[in-house]
């Protein structure tokens, strides 16, 4: 019998008890929530809320690092208290217990570290960025910010699916509150509603998945679930090629959880909310909509990987959806002009990579990309934010040029360059290593057309490099030209309180270079993004530090200690169900550096990919340089742009016909959804409204009238006359006694 890697792991992986001080990690942000609430009640008009938030988050980060140093490599839980216990028996499935407990293993530690770390940095950034709102929305912003971090920590630290679900809804709520932060702006309100409603679809999937988990496995706690004989039995069955033995219900769980993950992590077809979410303040875009919340879906899949492994369809669907999303979002990103939207689409696209990476059974690649992406994408967003802040909301890359040469913008420019290099996957950056791992794994892993997906992802990598450097070359190089955004009139966003000054006498616009706090955060993040590449070299035989970390968690499924057993695993082409799961065997010998299950042009994919993806990435940058680069960048051939708004690409675009316009209009997906979903729903709702009005209302009114009628009937009894009351009471006693005695005796 084949020994499942998880079975083997389950024997050794005892779940220990974490020390109580770990509780400080989620509760410090909660403290910030309480204190900012008190600030709101006391009508505080100072910057106090920002410093409270920064302090608490920094404290949380320090404790997280302590936890990392002392607890990594182990699986521990710590229970704050039992939230409720609605058990009605001792049997399996009769124990409905919800603990406010936290599960500390390497997977959650990874997320905890970058969530608290980035949140602290971005809170410092926001303390300056949001300055114009001091006394107005400042407290509200930091309240929601701290609440977000608390919810996110509940999500990743919770030791049961219920807490994960609560955290999931909590981050959704905070995301809604913060997207709609400028609630006087109709676009912001619409975007907030869109995000909330689209997420609802995903959340329904998650809710059903969680319920099915309880119904099927009788528990929601990870420790019990992953060690349950039931789940281990399924995994063993799949390993032995008896995938048909896994009940449909167990397979459906992963599918529903996957829908939840797609909603929160903005995957096709539910990705439409994320680009619109950029209406929120930029620190929010950086933290919530690029670095942390949108990776919740990946966390869910990584955390529940054992459950996904027993489902025949879930992971292949994840791979396909991830790849389609990556490609689709990249094509849209290439045609956008709003730099923040470009970053938003690139986030969607990169999330697609991560999902594909998880699905290619290299949780290492997927999660490594989550970590590196968190840093460089946060950096990119914060740089865009600095530009937006300084140019009164200007985000159009046709109206900005040459920031590199402007005084005070050097740190922003360098930060942007580092971020772009990472995103484009230029060799020896962190983004390069993490993306390569996913790409290589696509060719290694046999599956439903995975090598096709590999080529698509490679192509997408080239496109990513193109649109990334399109932004860089347009905005940061070339002649110094700029136009102010529409906010220097002091309408609603920033710029009102003297940040982007307009010299009224002259009509000139003076950009406002970022201050010390924004620059410090950008510099720190730049350094971190560069250093992140080093993570790859920490333990190269396990594909970097992240691989090393994940080996100790349930997200680890590939690089098992049991190579010999896995290597013997033979693909049984006739057993349909086994097909998608054979990957274990192949991935395993791959790890053992044995025969590879896949190859690219007959060579070791991991080695080849270093060169191939570098070529694709550099080609993309070259095209961007040719089309958008400034005159004199290298020679006469490359670049040639002398104005902010005109470049060689304009000529190319003209030849492509309507395609660029379609891409700019996001392939009309929103309109399509509107046509196939919103319009029919509206028609249906009108029909239902009629039915409701005529039929249901009548019935409801009838039933609603009944209590009123009863009430009216009883009301005269309440006459207010004392002796009437006394008589009624005595009479009532008599009547009831009579009835009771007559009926029973």
Interface residues with other proteins (CB under 8 A) are: 41, 81-89, 98, 100, 704, 707-708, 710-712, 714-715, 717-718, 720, 722, 725-726, 728-733, 735-737, 739-741, 743-745
Rounded to a whole number of angstroms, the minimum distance from the CB of residue 94 to other proteins is 9
- Of 465, 446, 236, nearest to 361 by C-alpha is 446
Max Cα separation, the chain? 109
Cis link prior to 269 (omega < 30° from 0)?
Answer: yes
* Cβ distance to other proteins smaller for residue 84 or 672: 84
In whole angstroms, how close is the CB of 735 to other proteins at the nearest point? 7
**Distance in Å, CB of 218 to other proteins, minimum:** 16
Closer of 69 and 714 to other proteins (Cβ): 714
Please, what is the minimum distance in Å from the beta carbon of residue 704 to other proteins? Answer: 7
CA torsion through residues 178, 678, 342, 274, sign: positive
Smallest gap from residue 269 Cβ to other proteins (A): 30
Q: 11-14 contacts: CB < 8 A, separation 24 or more?
A: 13/75, 13/227, 14/75
- Which one, 215 or 229, has the nearer CB to other proteins? 215
Nearer residue to other proteins within complex by CB, 84 or 637: 84
DSSP for 509-558? EE-----HHHHHHHHHHHHHHHHGGGGGGTSGGGTHHHHHHHTTSTT--S
User: Which 3-state string (H, E, C) describes 407-470?
Assistant: CCCHHHHHHHHHHHHHHHCCCCCHHHHHHHHHHHHHHHCCCCCHHHHHHHHHHHHHHHHHHHHH
Distance CA 518, CA 666 (A): 32
Q: Which is nearer to other proteins, 168 or 626 (CB)?
A: 168
**Complex with other proteins: residue 81 or 636, whichever CB lies closer:** 81
Contact 223, 15 (CB under 8 A): yes
Give the closest residue to 421 by CA, choosing from 121, 639, 622, 621: 621
| Smallest gap from residue 725 Cβ to other proteins (A) | 4
- Least distance in Å: CB of 208 to other proteins? 17
Output 102 or 376, the one with its CB closest to other proteins. 102
φ, ψ of residue 394 to 5 degrees: the values are: -75, 125
E-assigned strand segments in 45-195: 75-85, 97-104
Question: Rounded to whole angstroms, how far apart are CA atoms 345 and 18?
Answer: 39
Q: Select 602 or 720, whichever has its Cβ closest to other proteins.
A: 720
- The distance of closest approach from Cβ of residue 159 to other proteins in the complex, given in angstroms and rounded to an integer, is 14
CA distance 369 to 113: 15
State in angstroms the smallest separation of the CB of 731 from other proteins: 8
Minimal distance, residue 24 CB to other proteins, in Å: 17
Other beta carbons less than 10 A from residue 611's beta carbon: 12
Identify which of residues 142 and 545 has a Cβ nearer to other proteins in the complex. 142
Please name the helix (run of DSSP H) or strand (run of DSSP E) that holds residue 501, with its range, or none: strand 501-503
CB of 349 closer than 8 Å to CB of 460: yes
Complex with other proteins: residue 218 or 269, whichever CB lies closer = 218
Alpha carbon distance 416, 402 (integer Å):
13
């Amino acid at each position: 019998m084949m020994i499942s890697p998880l079975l083997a792991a389950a024997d050794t992986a005892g779940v220990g008890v974490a020390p109580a001080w770990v509780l400080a990690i989620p509760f410090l942000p909660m403290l910030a929530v309480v204190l900012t609430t008190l600030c709101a009640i006391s009508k505080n008009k100072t910057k106090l809320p920002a410093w409270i938030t920064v302090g608490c988050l920094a404290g949380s980060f320090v404790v997280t690092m302590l936890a990392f140093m002392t607890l990594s490599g182990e699986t521990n839980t710590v229970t704050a208290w039992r939230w409720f216990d609605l058990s009605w028996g001792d049997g399996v499935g009769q124990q409905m217990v919800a603990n406010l407990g936290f599960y500390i293993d390497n997977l959650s530690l990874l997320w905890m570290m970058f969530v608290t770390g980035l949140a602290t940095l971005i809170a410092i950034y926001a303390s300056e960025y949001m300055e114009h709102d001091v006394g107005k929305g400042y407290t509200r912003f930091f309240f929601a910010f701290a609440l977000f971090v608390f919810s996110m920590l509940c999500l990743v630290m919770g030791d049961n699916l219920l807490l994960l679900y609560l955290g999931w809804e909590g981050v959704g709520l905070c995301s809604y509150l913060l997207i709609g932060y400028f609630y006087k702006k109709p676009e912001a309100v619409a975007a907030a509603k869109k995000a909330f409603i689209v997420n609802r679809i995903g959340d329904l999937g998650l809710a059903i998945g969680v319920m099915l988990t309880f119904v099927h496995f009788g528990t929601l706690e990870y420790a019990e679930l992953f060690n349950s004989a039931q789940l281990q039995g399924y995994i063993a069955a799949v390993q032995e090629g008896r995938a048909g033995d896994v009940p449909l219900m167990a397979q459906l769980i992963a599918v529903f959880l996957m829908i939840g993950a797609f909603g929160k992590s903005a995957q096709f077809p539910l990705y439409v909310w994320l680009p619109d979410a950029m209406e929120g303040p930029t620190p929010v875009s950086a933290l919530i909509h690029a670095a942390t919340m949108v990776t919740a879906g990946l966390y869910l899949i990584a955390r529940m990987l054992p459950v996904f492994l027993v489902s025949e369809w879930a992971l292949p669907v994840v791979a396909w959806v991830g790849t389609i999303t990556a490609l689709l979002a990249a094509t849209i990103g290439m045609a956008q002009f709003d730099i923040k939207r470009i970053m938003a689409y690139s986030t969607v696209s990169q999330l697609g990579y991560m999902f594909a990476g998880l699905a290619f059974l290299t949780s290492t690649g997927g999660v490594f990309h989550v970590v590196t992406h968190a840093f460089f994408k946060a950096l990119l967003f914060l740089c865009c934010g600095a530009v937006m802040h300084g140019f009164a909301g200007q985000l159009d890359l046709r109206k900005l040029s040459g920031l590199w040469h402007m005084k005070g913008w050097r740190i922003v420019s360098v930060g942007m360059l580092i971020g772009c290099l990472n995103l484009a996957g230029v060799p020896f950056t962190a983004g390069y290593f993490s993306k390569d791992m996913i790409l290589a794994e696509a060719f290694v892993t046999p599956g439903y057309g995975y090598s096709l997906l590999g080529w698509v992802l490679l192509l997408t990598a080239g496109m990513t490099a193109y649109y990334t450097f399109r932004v860089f070359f347009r905005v940061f190089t070339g002649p110094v030209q700029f136009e102010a955004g529409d906010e220097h009139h002091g309408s609603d966003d920033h710029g009102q309180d003297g940040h982007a000054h307009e010299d009224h006498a002259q009509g000139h616009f003076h950009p406002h270079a970022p201050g010390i706090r924004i620059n410090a955060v950008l510099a720190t993040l730049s350094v971190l993004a560069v250093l992140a590449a080093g993570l790859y070299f920490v333990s190269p035989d396990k594909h970097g530090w992240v691989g090393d970390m994940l080996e100790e968690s349930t997200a680890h499924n590939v690089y098992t200690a049991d190579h010999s057993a896995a290597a013997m695993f033979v693909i049984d082409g006739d057993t349909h169900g086994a097909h998608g799961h054979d990957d274990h065997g192949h991935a395993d010998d791959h790890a053992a550096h044995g025969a590879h299950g896949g190859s690219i042009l007959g060579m070791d994919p991991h080695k080849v990919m270093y060169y191939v993806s570098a070529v694709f990435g550099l080609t993309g940058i070259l095209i961007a340089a040719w089309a958008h680069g400034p005159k004199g960048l290298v020679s006469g051939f490359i670049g040639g742009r002398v104005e902010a708004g005109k470049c060689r690409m304009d000529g190319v675009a003209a030849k492509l016909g309507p395609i660029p316009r379609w891409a700019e209009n996001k392939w009309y997906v929103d309109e399509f959804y509107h046509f196939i979903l919103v319009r029919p729903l509206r028609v249906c709702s009108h029909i239902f409204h009629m039915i409701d009005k005529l039929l249901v209302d009548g019935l409801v009114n009838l039933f609603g009238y009944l209590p009123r009628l009863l009430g009216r009937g009883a009301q005269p009894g309440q006459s207010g006359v004392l002796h009437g009351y006394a008589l009624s009471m005595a009479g009532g006693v008599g009547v009831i006694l009579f009835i009771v005695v007559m009926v029973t005796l």
